[in-house]
Amino acid sequence: MKKIFLFATLALLIFASCKKSGSAITTNNTITASVDGVVYNCNVEPASETYIDSSGTNAWYSYDTWVSDSNHNGFYLYIAKLNKTITNGTYGVQGDSTTRAYIEYDSTSGWWGSATVLSPATITITSSGGGNVQGTFQGTVYKYEDSTSADKKVITNGKFNITAL
């Protein structure tokens, strides 16, 4: 939870262009998604990392990427796989303990996250290689990750095309 809060805070500090639009984009270093029917096209600040879990015995290989505009609206995506490098496939499928996926939507009125057992995000990598990762994402996100809250947002038609560092 602390790591997620840290990334949410970082997302608010990174300013890139993000605008509402009706058309999808697929150029490199972009994220496109609909949040409750409103389409956002964003330029991305990419990043990737590898880290060791708290026991020190399992390596989680991950990609994470975020974007935020000057109004503090944005997205954060996180994909991880246990003991294996990230490859094409779907991450975050309920019941799969070897992959993780997280979607976060940030706005001036708070943040909504998908890290719940009831409604996990799914992120699908459709192409990876040469430092480029492309795919799709979707999920229901709840304000402050509280899945009992009626305050939720539905993210659909998510697409990303990022450079992994």
Every domain of the chain and the residues it spans: 2-163
Q: Residue 82: how many CA atoms within 13 Å on its side-chain side?
A: 10
Mean pLDDT of 90-103: 85
pLDDT of residue 14: 34
50-64, 92-106, 120-134: segment of lowest average pLDDT: 50-64
Which amino acid type is present at position 102? Answer: Y
| pTM score of the predicted model | 0.76
pLDDT of residue 22: 40
pLDDT of residue 82: 83
pLDDT surpassing 60 at residue 88? yes
- Averaged pLDDT of the chain: 74
71-94 b/e with 16+ CB inside 10 Å = b? eebbbbbbbbbeeeebeeebbbee
| 136 CB neighbour count, 10 Å cutoff | 17
42 close to 30: Cβ distance less than 8 angstroms: yes
